Amino acid sequence: MNYYDARETRYPLDRERELLARLPKQVAHAKAHAPAFAALLADVNPAAIVSREALAGLPVVRKSELLELQKGARPFGGFAALKWGTGCARVFASPGPIYEPEGARKDYWRLARAFYAAGFRAGDLVHNTFSYHFTPAGSMTETAAHALGCTVFPAGVGQTEQQVAAMLDLRPDAYAGTPSFLRIILDKADELGVKIDSLTKAFVSGEAFPPSQCEALVARGIQAFQAYATADIGLIAFETPAREGLVLDEDILLEIVRPGTGEPVAPGEVGEVVVTSFNPDYPLIRFGTGDLSAVLPGESPCGRSNTRIKGWLGRADQTTKVKGMFVHPGQVVAVLKRHPELGRGRLVVDNPDHNDRMTLHCELAAPVEGLAEGVAASIRDLTKLRGEVSFCAPGSLANDGKVIDDVRKYE
């Protein structure tokens, strides 16, 4: 079988209907069992959240805000719907610290689907080098491998020579970890004059995996596939043998929104990844990951019919400080909304002669008398700072999700 389950090849409209049918129940569940969502969604009727348009009207909970929210209500900021000993098998800490629960369900983080696409099968021995310490990565990958019937060697990070020795002794079929650490292990084996020839497949994540790294592993007989997952959501999207973008997981609703807002962007435009999870234990509704990506048109040549994204394209949090004042992407979007003649915009911050300067570059189809002065006034009104205005042709600004581009240099 080429697919983890039949859901991967169903008609896209059937998938959309099923996800939207689950949405009101999940919103109601979050309101009833997660105190933070009870407050955030106090005026929301869950039964009315039956479309993407209705979903887009709910507030975005951003990962960048989660640390402060959790500090006010440890351990999970009121966003979790479980307690110690009632379904919570483990708790992890990501940098910050931000705490994440792990429930007792099989393949809790839903990564088995990505492992299957990477060629992992029952009977494989997986050499798992993701950390088992504090962060959930080791458990995320181990539970996925177990769900497929694999055996796992919990190698963890570091101790390169011991990693090589264990691979020579155990002869694992597969590797799980960052691509850079796999390269380090293989290079160490070369340095020691030994050959690791049992590995034929790898699941990699946690950092960029450019084509050059992929090709270098293929040259060693290892087919490696990447996935995009977070400690809050679990699996978001995964690479398939088609190697054309990342296919979305079957159990999330994904939106791409303009950074600093909750407003969905046009198809194909770069924006922040916002995910609604159907996890009953940690029912995150419109969770802003802080990552940038974009939707790819069409379906994957591998036969999976779900939406594809380009993968990780950078960070969405572009807040910067100018002359001692914070300027947020949402303020830039608010300026553009005041002037419907404008298309996309980008605030460029530089410092000629060591003096901070803001210039709002705006796409404009045709000249409008007095518009520059009006936009400058809006900048001053909304940011409390003076800014210059520069118009450019529609489509001339890069489609990279940037709303604020800080190019200041300090010598």
pLDDT number for residue 318: 78
User: Measuring CA to CA, how many Å separate 303 from each of 7, 247, 358?
Assistant: 11, 11, 47
pLDDT number for residue 111: 98
Q: 270 and 305 share a domain?
A: yes
Q: Give the pLDDT confidence of 358-379 residue by residue, as tens digits.
A: 999 999 999 999 999 999 999 9
* In-domain check, residue 98: yes
* In-domain check, residue 1: no
% of the chain with per-residue pLDDT over 70:
99
* In-domain check, residue 246: yes
Closest to 249 in 3D by CA, of 411, 89, 15, 76? 15
* In-domain check, residue 390: yes
Which residues are CB-contacts of 142 (< 8 A; sequence separation ≥ 6)? 126, 128, 152, 154
Across the range 288-316, mean pLDDT stands at 92
Number of neighbours of residue 212 by Cβ within 10 angstroms: 7
Q: 246 and 301 share a domain?
A: yes
Separation of alpha carbons 207 and 227, rounded Å = 10
Helix (H, G, I), strand (E, B) or coil at 47: helix
Across the range 160-180, mean pLDDT stands at 96
* In-domain check, residue 293: yes
* In-domain check, residue 411: no
398: domain CATH number is 3.30.300.30
166: domain CATH number is 3.40.50.12780
- Name the domain boundary from 261, 290, 309: 309
Q: 107 and 219 share a domain?
A: yes
Assess contact for 206 and 137: CB atoms under 8 A.
Answer: yes
Across the range 377-396, mean pLDDT stands at 92
User: Measuring CA to CA, how many Å separate 352 from each of 92, 349, 408?
Assistant: 45, 10, 8
* In-domain check, residue 19: yes
Omega prior to 97 cis, within 30 of 0: yes
Q: Measure CA 196 to chain center.
A: 33
The conformation of residue 209, written as its DSSP 8-state character, comes to -
Across the range 346-359, mean pLDDT stands at 86
Q: 238 and 101 share a domain?
A: yes
Q: 349 and 304 share a domain?
A: no
The pTM for the full model equals 0.84
Q: Which amino acid is it at 212? A: S
pLDDT above 70 for 1: no
Q: Poorest-confidence range of 63-67, 128-132, 158-162, 253-257?
A: 63-67
Confidence of residue 284 (pLDDT cuts 50, 70, 90): very high
Q: Give the pLDDT confidence of 113-141 residue by residue, as tens digits.
A: 999 999 999 999 999 999 998 889 999 99
Q: 254 and 343 share a domain?
A: no
Separation of alpha carbons 293 and 276, rounded Å = 16
Q: Which of 88-102, 239-253, 383-397 has the highest mean pLDDT?
A: 239-253
pLDDT number for residue 354: 66
* In-domain check, residue 212: yes
Q: 146 and 288 share a domain?
A: yes
Instruction: Give the residue carrying structure tokens 């969604």.
Output: 41
Q: 299 and 356 share a domain?
A: no
pLDDT above 90 for 169: yes
Q: 329 and 269 share a domain?
A: no
Number of domains in the chain: 2
pLDDT number for residue 410: 59
| Domain containing residue 401 | 320-406
Alpha-carbon torsion, ordered 62, 68, 69, 71, to 10 deg: 150
Separation of alpha carbons 100 and 92, rounded Å = 5
- Name the domain boundary from 257, 282, 309: 309
Average model confidence (pLDDT) across the chain? 93
Q: 35 and 137 share a domain?
A: yes
Q: Give the pLDDT confidence of 23-40 residue by residue, as tens digits.
A: 999 999 999 999 999 999
pLDDT number for residue 411: 52
The structure tokens listed for 410 are: 């300090």
DSSP H or E stretch at residue 199: none
Q: 165 and 205 share a domain?
A: yes
- Name the domain boundary from 280, 309, 338: 309
Closest to 182 in 3D by CA, of 203, 210, 211? 203
Separation of alpha carbons 91 and 170, rounded Å = 30
Q: Measure CA 58 to chain center.
A: 19
Q: Which of 75-79, 169-173, 213-217 has the highest mean pLDDT?
A: 169-173
Alpha-carbon torsion, ordered 202, 208, 210, 212, to 10 deg: -70
% of the chain with per-residue pLDDT over 90:
75
Q: 113 and 246 share a domain?
A: yes
Separation of alpha carbons 23 and 261, rounded Å = 21
